[in-house]
Copies of this chain bind each other. A is one copy, B any other.
């Protein structure tokens, strides 16, 4: 019998410093494109991230996935490495990336997706940079344009 597909979400918090800039651009160009976000002395944010996994309900436990287990995996593979850190210089898996929220959310997806247990899939990440701005990624790829 077909089973309901349910999504469960855990929301977590961290904070970090960053700046938006390209090392191959002049300071003027960086300031022009990224405005105050290019400040060479850094700025920072309290980030909120919502991690959503999807699957059927395990008939034995009533869980799609134990949210404590999900929290532990996200903490170990993501939060512990970015909380109270500088995203430009201290996070190996962001190296070479301009840490916009867009690049950041895709990098988190790439890290988290293979770490989920079998039977569930990573369905959505929502990353809030401020209470007014957020990005979402569901693993979707654009059709090639060529």
Q: Are the C-beta atoms of B41 and A90 separated by less than 8 Å?
A: yes
A42 (CB) vs chain B CBs: closest residue = B17
Q: Are the C-beta atoms of A131 and B57 separated by less than 8 Å?
A: no
A43-86: which have CB < 8 Å to B?
43-46, 52, 55-57, 60-64, 67-68, 83-86
Tell me how many residues of A have a C-beta within 8 Å of chain B: 72
Q: How many copies does the complex hold?
A: 6
Min Cβ gap A132→B in Å is 5
In the complex, A3 has a CB within 8 A of chain B: yes
A1-57: which have CB < 8 Å to B?
1-13, 15-18, 20, 22, 33-37, 39, 41-46, 52, 55-57
